[in-house]
Every structure is written in C-alpha cells, then in structure tokens.
Structure 1
Amino acid sequence: MWVCSGSPLVAEICAGSGLDWLLIDAEHSPNGLESILAQLQAVHGYPVQVLVRPPVNDPVLIKQYLDLGVQNLLIPMVHSVADAEAAVAATRYPPEGVRGVGSALARAARWNRVPDYLATAAGTVSVTVQIESAAAVDAVEDILAVDGVDAIFVGPSDLAASMGLLGQQEHPEVRAAVERCLAGAGRADVPAGVNAFSPATAHHYLDAGARFILVGADVALLARGSEGLATAFVRSADGTGPATSY
C-alpha cells in the first residue's frame, strides 16, 4: 500500500498490518528528507519491504535518499533507456555511476560502521523504474534490458493521461498497454508491478503476470473510512440525511 500521509506513526501502523510492502511516496505527498528518515526509522524491524519514490529522477536527490538509508527506490517518469540508465547511475559510485561519496556522514553506512560499504553499497540497492507514458510503453523492452533495472512498475493514471485518456485508467487501450508491459517483463524475467485500487483490476493484473501490486493508500483509507462514519452517524438539521460541512 501507499504511505502518503508523511506520518511516522501511520507508517508504523501500516508496517505492522501484515502487508508485503509499502511505498513511501514523495512525488505526490508531503514528504521531505526529514519525514522520510523518520518513517524509515518507524518501520525498521517490521516484516515488510519498503520502497521510496522521490519526486523526480535526479541524481542529487537520489544520493540524499540513499544516504538516508533508502535501499529500494521507485523512480518516476522513466520514459526512455536514457532515463533508466540515469536512474541506475545515480545509485552507483564511480566509475560505474555518479553517486557522491559521503558514507562517513550517512545513515546508510551507519556512519562508516558497515565494513566495506563503498565496495558493497550497489548490492544493497534495488532500482524500480516507473513506466507511465506511451513513450515508455513503446520502449519497455529496451528499458527492461538496462543493466541495473531490477523491476518495472506501471502507473496507469499517468499512462492514461499520456494516451489522451485522462482519468480513464480502466480504458481498454490503457489496460492493453499495461498488459504489454507485464508480458514484456515476463519474457525478460524482470519483476513487474502495477497500481490498481479496484480489487477486480488488481486480480486481473496479477493473473496477467504482475508480481507486486499497490491496492490502497493510507490517506484514501482514512478518507473513505471517515466518510463512512459520517454517512452512518451524522444527520442533517432536518434529520433526513447526512449533514454537510460545506
């Protein structure tokens, strides 16, 4: 599930829920370096995998995330092989990449308490790139072949928008594009995931080869749950139905 609230307490609640993995999001959520660090600390020790999505495919920001101790990155808006190669390079120290060296100052290396961190750091990081445009779908086989891309994740919302189908994630053409990516990943033996809040759609994509999936978000669960309480218990002034705060 998505963790978008920016709250370490909420992140910890989600981490202990029994779910397989969480996505701490900074692209569309109010998360900065300090709140991401606090959430990483809050979920540490729980039996859950954590991915973190930066707001942009930027080597400076990725460097900061890695130094915080982020080990699984979801890089948004990867439209081409060049974008994928840049994402991977940002996670590697020279000469393989462009990551800046600051392990003595970094939580990732436990402030140089991790033996041989500089030599082994690349092996502790996974890079998942987000396929969320028609251009990325067209290039997906080549993106899957980029050395260092560990997985792809398909975002149907932005994909639909790029196809001229804004807000139509369930459109047959969008679903076909998602399935094309899942099939390509299967042939390449690279794990592929997808965002699908509708249970029927989620099961469909799992059957189509998705290896991991996002099926909810902390903020959405709170919004719908609180609305359900209001519907059940809050009445308008005339007693005929739910009151409105507007």
Structure 2
Amino acid sequence: MTLPPTLGARIAVSDRPLFGAWSCAGSATNAEIVAGSGLDLVLIDAEHSPAGLESILAQLQAVAAYPVTALVRPPSGDTVALKQVLDLGAQNLVVPMVDTAEQAAEIVRAVHYPPVGVRGVGSALARSSRWNRVEGYLADASSTISLFVQIESAAAIANLEQILAVDGVDGVFFGPADLAASMGLLGQQEHPDVVGAVLAGIASAAAAGKPSAVNAFAPAAADRYVQAGAALVIVGADVALLARATEALADRFIGSHPGGPDASGATLRASY
C-alpha cells in the first residue's frame, strides 16, 4: 500500500498554481462536496472551527475518495496536537501563528520521528501508516509529510527569511487577515501595507526556493497573488459560500420587505 503524494510534491510537478477551499464547518459532507468540486485542495480547519479529532478523521476519510489534496490546519503547533493529527493520516499540515525560526524548528521536530524529531511512535495503531500496511512507513514517514507554516503577523514577516531557512519547513502560507490585524489594520486585508507585505513575502519564498500559499477569497486578490508567484491560493470556504448564497436567495425572493420583489409571486413563477 502506498500513500498519496504530498502537497509539496504536487506543487513541484504542477505547471500552474493550485487552488483550494476551506472546510470550516467540521462537516465530512461539506468536505466531500468541496473535494468533488474540481478544485485541487481541501483545507480542513481545526483552528477557527468546531472540528475535533473525530471530525478531522471523518473529513480525511471523505476526501480520500477524490483526486484532491487534503491540507489540515491544527489549532496550534503543540507537539501533542500535531502527533495526533499526523496519526489520523494527515500528510499535509499548515500550522498557524508561527512568528519565529525557533518556533518553526520546534514544529519541524514535532512532525518527525527520532532522531530528527520527537514525534511519538504509534504507527501500528494509526491510520497514518494504514495500521502498518504501508511498507517501511517508519523509515519513510518524513517523505510522506509536507509542512507549511502560517505567516500572519508583522513579527513573522520581519523574521521570514530566517523561518524560510529552517530545514523541514516546506513552504509558507500567508494569512492577510491576521497580518492586517497585527499591523493595526484590523479588517483591512486590502490595505496597501498588507498587500505589500504579502507580495514581498511571496518574493522572499521564491528566492528561498520554497512555495508560498495565501488566503484570498476576492478574485482580484487571488489573481494578484497568482501573478506574484503564489503556488497555492485558497479562494473560498464552505461556510462563507453558504452564507453568501443564502443571503443572495433572501435578497432575491424576500428583499427588504415581507412581500419580496413582487408580492404577487409573479416574479417567482416567471423564473420557472
């Protein structure tokens, strides 16, 4: 039995940027819907979502039936949390709120077995090795994992070159929302200073020979970061898509008053 290629491996052989969407509801059904959409990647979130270990597992299992890459964001870079998520079979991680090279190095240690790292050995009990059905898993585990660290503060931007130099950090993921907040620009992801920091970060990653990813729900922002050289852009989220689509339905059929755009129902009937 073999495991799918990692995100890093998929980026390396792709002739175009990859595009993905978040699965933030903690729902395996939502993750499966995103997986079947034609996008390249499903980003399973456990930082800003209700997802626990059982939910992450269910989402990984649902996504596994589709030709997409699953990327998991754990709630933190805690060594125990990372061990548990890896044992569930997550091969690709993006760890939030990494501000320094020292933090990045500790995260690298957490995702690798000794002597490189400190990951606890439980492969016979875990989906990561398919319960020891993946031949040579312990020896080859490092090659089955891609580690991205999330750059989402002014401190992280200042330390970016050192973070990129950490062996075992496979790529960086820019989070404009938290970056804006750390720069005193809460809610202003499109502020020139925030955009400039992300663009400079993408260039730094390219110079270091490592791929960069970025969160960009607005198409114009996504296009900008693709043109700058981002290897992966996350262009939507299950919860945001559902929220905006249902709001559009409410606007269309109800509008600003109970009778809706046409209280007689003529508009509704004419649409069928």
Matched-pair contact (CA < 8 Å) for 2:173–2:213: yes
* Inter-CA distance 60–236: structure 2 relative to 1 (3 Å threshold): same
Give the deviation of 1:45 after TM superposition: 2.6
Matched-pair contact (CA < 8 Å) for 2:254–2:260: no
Counterpart position of 1:14 = 34
Matched-pair contact (CA < 8 Å) for 2:252–2:261: no
Give the deviation of 1:47 after TM superposition: 1.0
* Inter-CA distance 236–175: structure 2 relative to 1 (3 Å threshold): closer
Say yes or no: does 1:139 pair with 2:159: yes
Tell me how far apart the structure 1 counterparts of residues 222 and 255 of structure 2 sit (CA, whole Å).
35
Tell me how far apart the structure 1 counterparts of residues 162 and 247 of structure 2 sit (CA, whole Å).
44
Give the deviation of 1:11 after TM superposition: 0.8
Tell me how far apart the structure 2 counterparts of residues 153 and 126 of structure 1 sit (CA, whole Å).
12
Q: Per the alignment, in what secondary structure is the counterpart of residue 178 of structure 2?
A: helix
Counterpart position of 2:222 = 202
TM-score, normalised to structure 1, is: 0.95
Counterpart position of 1:102 = 122
Structure 2 counterpart of 1:157, from 162, 177, 189:
177
Give the deviation of 1:24 after TM superposition: 0.3
Q: Point out which structure has higher relative CO (alpha carbons under 8 A, 6+ apart).
A: 2
Structure 1 counterpart of 2:234, from 209, 214, 224:
214
Give the deviation of 1:79 after TM superposition: 0.2
Structure 1 counterpart of 2:136, from 108, 116, 122:
116
Counterpart position of 2:67 = 47
Tell me how far apart the structure 1 counterparts of residues 227 and 77 of structure 2 sit (CA, whole Å).
30
Post-superposition CA distance 1:18-62 (Å, at most 9, x none): 001110000001100001100111111311111000011111000
Counterpart position of 1:76 = 96
Q: Per the alignment, in what secondary structure is the counterpart of residue 201 of structure 1?
A: helix
Say yes or no: does 1:186 pair with 2:206: yes
Give the deviation of 1:84 after TM superposition: 0.7
Bigger shift: residues 109-118 or 232-241:
232-241
Say yes or no: does 1:65 pair with 2:85: yes
TM-score, normalised to structure 2, is: 0.86
Give the deviation of 1:239 after TM superposition: 2.6
Q: CA RMSD in A?
A: 1.4
Aligned length: 242
Counterpart position of 1:90 = 110
Which consecutive unaligned segments of at least 5 residues does structure 2 have?
A: 1-20, 263-272
Post-superposition CA distance 1:170-190 (Å, at most 9, x none): 100001110111010111110
Post-superposition CA distance 1:95-128 (Å, at most 9, x none): 1101001111111111122222111111100000
Counterpart position of 1:174 = 194
Matched-pair contact (CA < 8 Å) for 2:216–2:233: yes
Q: Per the alignment, in what secondary structure is the counterpart of residue 132 of structure 2?
A: coil
Tell me how far apart the structure 2 counterparts of residues 30 and 87 of structure 1 sit (CA, whole Å).
23
Structure 2 counterpart of 1:233, from 253, 261, 264:
253
Tell me how far apart the structure 2 counterparts of residues 40 and 55 of structure 1 sit (CA, whole Å).
16
Give the deviation of 1:208 after TM superposition: 1.0
* Inter-CA distance 95–238: structure 2 relative to 1 (3 Å threshold): closer
* Inter-CA distance 88–225: structure 2 relative to 1 (3 Å threshold): same
